[in-house]
Amino acid sequence: MMQELSPTLQALREEAELLRLAFLDRQGYPRVVPVWFVLIDGAYYIGIGTTSAKWKAMQRDARVGWVIDGGTRGHYQGVSLRGHAEEVRDTAWRARVYEALGKKYFGAADDAEFINIFGQVDDPEAVYVRLIPDATLTWEH
C-alpha cells in the first residue's frame, strides 16, 4: 500500500531538480545516480539514453529505487521509494514526457540545449521510463 505524502513532501517532490536513482549494475552491485525527472499525474518519469548503463541495467532487472530529499540541519525531509522501471512505448506518452522534461529544465522542449541532450521528440536513442513504486518511506525532521 502506498503511503500518502504530506503537503510538505508533495511540495518537495514537485520542486526537486534531481531524483537519485538506484539500480543494479552488471556485477550485481547497487549504483545510485542523480537524474532529471518529471511528475505527470503523480507518476515519476525519467529520460535516458538507450546506450546508458542505467537503461541496460533496467533491461536486465527492472527493480529500482529512488530518493528525493533535501533540507537543512534540523529540517531534513525526503521520500524514498522502491519499485520497478517500465519503458514508455506509447508515442503520445513519450511526447508528453519529452515536453514536460523540456519545460521543467529548459523552459521549453524546443530549447536548443534540451534538443542537444535529448534529441527530437521521437529520437530512437532516447528512452523514457516510468518509475512505478510499490513501497514508500518518508521522513521529516
Q: What is the pLDDT of residue 3?
A: 64
Of 97, 24, 92, 94, the C-alpha closest to 59 is 24
Helices (H) and strands (E) in the chain, counts: 4, 7
Specify the DSSP element, H or E, that contains 104: helix 91-106
- Write the pLDDT tens digit of every residue in 40-64: 998 999 999 999 999 999 999 999 9
Range from 24-28, 43-47, 67-71 carrying the lowest mean pLDDT: 67-71
d(Cα 95, Cα 92) in Å, to the nearest integer? Answer: 5
pTM of the predicted model as reported, rounded to 2 decimal places: 0.92
